[in-house]
Each structure stands twice: as C-alpha cells, then as structure tokens.
C-alpha cells in the first residue's frame, strides 16, 4: 500500500532519474547456477520459512546467510525475510518475541539455556526518502499506524531514523547495504532471488554498496563500520571493497558523531568479537579510519600492538573460531588494564592501602574510558571483578584459594592472569600453580596449599636476619610496687618456663586456624 501511495503521489517510476533509486530487475537463479548445498541450511530456519509459506506469506533466508552459503560456508546465524508483519509472524510461533523500536523484528526461539537458537525474522521494508515520507503522511488515506511509522522516518540530512514502513521485496532489497547481502534464498524451491547482481559480485569477490555509497552512508552512518567489518571478515576469502564504495568512507566518518553512543558501542563490539578483531584493526588502518570512529575503539587500535592486548585479541579470535563464547568484559578489561595498573601504582606510591587504591583506579578508568554507555551494569561489574581478583592470585595459603576457585568470574580472572603471565607481567610459576589448582580434587588442593605454606615458612627461616639491638632496662618508677601473693607466684611461674606457656597457646591457635582453613575448602566446594 505504501509503495502505491508513493508512486502515485510522486508521479514517476522508482527508476526515474532524480527520483528513487533503481530497484533492479528480479532474477530467479536456479541451484544449477548458484550451487548452494542445501545440507548447509539450518533445519530451524527451514521450519520458519515453511511455516510462513504455508500460512500464505512470502518467506526467504536472507542476507549474510545467503552470502556465506554461496561461498560454501555454513552460516552461524540465519535470518528470514517475509511480507508478513511482526504481529502476523508472532502469531505463527509459540515462542516468538517482537523486539526493537527503530527496526522492529521478531525473534523465533528454539531450545532453552545455552543451547537455544534464535531465528531472526524481519518484514520487507519500503525504501522511503524524506520527500516521499512527507507526502504519504499528508495523504488522508494514510492509516494511523502508517502515520506512526512514517513520523520522523528520515531527518533533514537523509539519515533514516525509523525503519518500520513495510513494502515489497524489491524495495527491501534496495534498502540493504551491499549487493552480496541483498539476495533471498528459498530452501523449498532452492531458488535465489537477486536484484542487484549480488551473485556476480559474490563470484568476483567484490564488496559493492547498492546505489551511491555516500548517500547510503548518510542514510545510516553505521554502514561505515559495517563496511570495515565485512571487508575484514571476507578478506581471507579474497573479497575487497569496490573503489566507489571505499572512496567516501573517510569523508563520511564525521556523520558518526550524530549516532547514539550506545549504538556505536555495540557496533564496536561486533567489530572486535566476530572472530576477525585483528583483521578489522588492520582494515581500519588501511582505510584511514584508525581514529575518530569511537573513543574506546581508538584506544583498542592504538594498543593492538602491545603484547598483552595483542594476545587478548588473538585469544578472542581463536575462541570465536572454535565456537566458544566470548565476553566483551574480558577483552575490554585487557585493553584498559594498562590504565588501571598505572593508576593503582600511583596511589600505592602515595602510601594508599592496596585494595581501596585499586578500587579508586578502576573508578577513574570507567569515568575516563567507558562513561555511561554500558549503564555501569553487568559489563562494568564483570570488568571490575576481573581486575579486583588479580592481587588475590598472590595469596595461596589459608582459605583464599578455595574461595577464589568458587567465584563466578574465576575462570575469566584466571585467563586474564594467564595472559599477563604470557606477557611477562606475572611469574609463569604462579599461573601454572593456579592452573593445576583449578583442575585438582579437594584433597590435592589442600596438599598444594600446605606445600606453599611450608615453602613460605622455610623461606622465612632462611631469610638473613639483622643484628638484634638489646633494649636498655627500664628504670624502676616510684609507682612500681613489688609483686606479692598470687601475683608473685604467677610472675615466678612465667619466669620458670621462660615464656613457653604463652608461646604454646599461640601455636595452638595457629594450628586451629590452619585446620579451619583446611576444612573450609571441601565445604566450600
């Protein structure tokens, strides 16, 4: 309906010069040409497509999943596009949730816990510029729901503010960013629908923006970061940014200043946590975007060559490649550790106590580097725990090791300490000890703690002692009274034993404390 309004009001075809962009020609490519292996398609994505089609809607696997399938990769995520509205999609599935405001989509959830899988379903979007939005909004036949979607859809610069105007598939294709991300695959018929020669660009390994690149970056400046991310991700497969797509990147960078900081923060994490962090940093430098995208990203790029940060980036890429989970808190804790350590050392040099000095240093780093973007929520809490646990790794006697091993963030804090050891900041022996302790049984853990205690006692005995200076006897005072009665007997008893009795009581107290600490480990386990 929206498309008909726009075409009628503008009085020109979508492909007319100076009007809307060329929507392209629909091409249906058979499996004999595109060669997608259907066994690489997720069964749950097929179920979503099938359910929508059986309900009378169009539905396709879309975007990056199709791109990966065309080059023979098994996609990690599957998105589905349909002409059904979010409410209609939600009504077809038992566990489906509508999310988002600027871009409303539906998450169809399969499974539970860590094994759950989400199929993201989006409704075909209309391509809508500001002039068309105003004319459609002024038409008396436009419904209230359509008016709500159109209101402030595009700002005066052409940046899309809201993207919930539904349209046909050809308009949905043109509002996507790259040609290789604008193809639709029907797993039922095995047909690929292509409007912008995406298959051709896929075969030639070309990353090309649909339409005029400068205009597309203005519509959504985050496409600048996406261009870097795709170039880094697909460079091992030989993909390169087309010159007209790469050309406006630097000039368009200033447009990112108007993007909400929270969205830039999320895009930065995608850049660093999709398994191509080092390649993304190399792309930023190569494209002239090493600074100015986001302040915290500037710090990452600047420190990527430091051994500790480089090791963290490599470890993140490795874990993603192995299908293991990664946490942004860990990587950011590694990047900002140098700031925390310097602030901590400065406070210790001023004579402040260690723990509050570390806490104050952490708070200063959050204020200077993170700000309120993360809401000081879970991400900030996890980073704080990783940092605060570092000095506790030096304590390997008593109940401390047992309590440490039970901390929810112990594994992240230990991995952090292990990277510090690899960088030469921590003794390898200490890292090896904690590695063994974390994997040992309760009895072995207690033996390890007892051995450390014995080694420390031996070191204290062997430590050189300086000359002892005898204290001069105290001059008797006039107020001193001579001992008599029970007091004299008690004093004589203490003199006869040479002070042994108090020392024995002290040793017993120490022994009881040791036994209590030893029993705390298994109980805590």
Q: Is the predicted pLDDT of residue 208 greater than 60, yes or no?
A: yes
- Length of the chain, in residues: 525
Residue 106 main-chain phi, psi, to 5 deg:
-120, 130
**Rounded (5°) CA angle 287-218-139:** 165
Q: Which positions are annotated as active-site residues?
A: 77, 79, 177
The helix/strand/coil state of 120 is strand
Average pLDDT, the chain: 82
The predicted-structure confidence for 8-46, as pLDDT tens digits, reads as follows 333 333 333 344 567 889 999 999 999 999 999 999 999
- Whether the Cβ atoms of residue 362 and residue 384 lie closer than 8 Å to each other: yes
State both tokens at 509. 């107290």
Give the tens place of pLDDT for each residue, 66-96: 999 999 999 989 999 999 999 999 999 999 9
The tokens for 321 are 């490649």
Per-domain boundaries in the chain: 1-204, 209-318, 328-453
Per-residue model confidence as pLDDT tens digits over 51-62: 999 999 999 999
d(CA 428, CA 223): 44
pLDDT tens readout for residues 432-486: 999 999 999 999 999 999 999 999 998 888 877 666 655 556 555 544 444 444 3
Single pTM value for the model? 0.74
Residue 216: alpha-carbon gap to chain centroid: 27
Tell me the C-alpha to C-alpha distance, in Å, between residue 167 and each of 25, 106, 174, 473: 16, 17, 11, 99
Distance CA 200, CA 213 (A): 19
- Residues 6+ positions from 507 with CB-CB distance below 8 Å: none
Of residues 184 and 262, more confidence is placed in 184
* Domain 209-318, CATH among 3.40.50.300, 1.10.3090.10, 3.40.50.1820, 2.130.10.10: 1.10.3090.10
Of 249, 279, 216, 263, nearest in space to 103 by CA: 263
Under DSSP, is residue 276 helix (H, G, I), strand (E, B) or coil?
A: coil
- The count of C-alpha atoms lying within 13 angstroms of the C-alpha of 183, restricted to the half-sphere facing its C-beta, is 30
What pLDDT sits at residue 129? Answer: 55
From 3.40.1260.20, 3.30.460.10, 3.90.180.10, 3.65.10.10, which CATH number describes the 1-204 domain? Answer: 3.30.460.10
Long-range pairs, 486-492, Cβ under 8 A, ≥24: none
Q: Which one-letter DSSP state was computed for residue 77? A: -
Q: pLDDT-derived band of residue 515, with 50, 70 and 90 as boundaries? A: very low
Gap between the Cα atoms of 314 and 326, Å rounded: 12
Q: Are 437 and 404 in contact (CB under 8 A)?
A: no
Answer whether 1-204 and 328-453 agree in fold. no
Q: What is the dihedral of CA 360, 364, 366, 372, to 10 degrees?
A: 110
Beta-sheet pairing, 183-186 with 117-123: unpaired
Quickly state the pLDDT bin for 126 (edges 50, 70, 90).
Answer: confident
Q: Half-sphere exposure of 337 toward its Cβ, with a 13 Å CA cutoff?
A: 27
Q: Distance (Å, rounded) from C-alpha 524 to C-alpha 402?
A: 7
CA distance 463 to 469: 18
Please identify, in words, the CATH class of the domain defined by 328-453: mainly alpha
* Least confident stretch, 112-121, 281-290, 314-323, 337-346: 112-121
% of the chain beyond a pLDDT of 70 = 76
Residues 150 and 139: beta-carbon distance below 8 Å = no
Q: Cβ(329)–Cβ(337) under 8 Å? A: no
311-366 per-position pLDDT tens digit: 999 999 999 989 888 999 999 999 999 999 999 999 999 999 999 999 999 999 99
Contacts of 184 (CB under 8 A, 6+ apart): 60, 61, 62, 66, 81, 169, 173, 192, 193, 194
* Residue-wise DSSP of 239-271: -EE-HHHHTTHHHHGGGGGGS-HHHHHHHHHHH
């Amino acid at each position: 309906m929206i498309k008909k309004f726009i075409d009628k009001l503008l009085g020109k075809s979508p492909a007319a010069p100076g009007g809307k962009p060329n929507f392209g020609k629909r091409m249906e490519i058979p499996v004999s040409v595109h060669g997608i292996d259907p066994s690489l398609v997720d069964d749950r994505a097929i179920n979503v497509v099938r359910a929508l089609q059986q309900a009378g809607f169009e539905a396709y696997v879309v975007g990056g999943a199709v791109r990966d399938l065309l080059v023979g990769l098994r996609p990690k995520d599957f998105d589905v596009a349909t002409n059904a509205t979010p409410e209609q999609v939600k009504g077809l599935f038992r566990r489906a949730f509508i999310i988002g405001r600027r871009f409303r989509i539906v998450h169809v959830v399969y499974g539970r816990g860590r094994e759950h899988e989400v199929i993201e379903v989006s409704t075909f979007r209309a391509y809508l510029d500001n002039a068309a939005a105003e004319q459609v909004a002024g038409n008396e036949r436009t419904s209230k729901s359509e008016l709500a979607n159109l209101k402030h859809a595009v700002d005066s610069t052409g940046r899309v503010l809201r993207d919930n105007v539904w349209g046909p598939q050809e308009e949905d294709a043109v509002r996507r960013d790259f040609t290789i991300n604008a193809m639709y695959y029907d797993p039922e018929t095995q047909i690929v629908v292509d409007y912008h020669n995406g298959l051709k660009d896929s075969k030639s390994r070309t990353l090309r923006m649909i339409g005029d690149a400068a205009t597309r970056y203005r519509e959504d400046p985050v496409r600048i970061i996406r261009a870097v991310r795709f170039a880094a991700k697909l460079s091992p497969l030989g993909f390169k940014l087309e010159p007209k797509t790469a050309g406006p990147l630097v000039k368009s960078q200033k447009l990112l200043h108007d993007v909400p900081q929270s969205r830039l923060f999320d895009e930065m994490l995608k850049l660093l946590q999709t398994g191509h962090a080092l390649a993304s940093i190399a792309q930023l430098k190569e494209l002239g975007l090493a600074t100015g995208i986001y302040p915290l990203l500037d710090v990452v790029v600047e420190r990527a060559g430091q051994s500790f940060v480089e090791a963290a980036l490599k470890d993140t890429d490795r874990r993603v490649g192995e299908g293991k989970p990664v946490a942004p808190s860990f990587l950011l804790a590694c990047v900002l550790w140098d700031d925390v350590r310097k602030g901590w050392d400065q406070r210790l040099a001023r004579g402040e106590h260690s723990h509050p000095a570390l806490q104050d240093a952490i708070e200063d780093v959050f204020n200077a580097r993170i700000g309120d973007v993360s809401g000081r929520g879970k991400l900030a809490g996890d980073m704080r725990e990783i940092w605060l646990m570092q000095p506790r790794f030096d304590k390997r006697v008593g109940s401390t090791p047992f309590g440490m091993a039970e901390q929810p963030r112990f594994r992240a804090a230990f991995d952090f300490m292990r990277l510090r050891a690899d960088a030469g900041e921590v003794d390898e022996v200490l890292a090896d000890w904690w590695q063994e302790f974390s994997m040992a049984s309760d009895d072995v853990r207690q033996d390890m703690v007892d051995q450390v205690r014995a080694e420390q006692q031996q070191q204290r005995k062997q430590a050189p002692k300086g000359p002892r200076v005898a204290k001069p006897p105290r001059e008797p005072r006039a107020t001193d009274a001579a001992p008599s009665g029970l007091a004299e007997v008690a004093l004589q008893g203490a003199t006869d034993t040479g002070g042994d009795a108090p020392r024995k009581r002290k040793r017993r107290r120490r022994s009881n404390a040791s036994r209590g600490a030893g029993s705390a480990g298994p109980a805590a386990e």
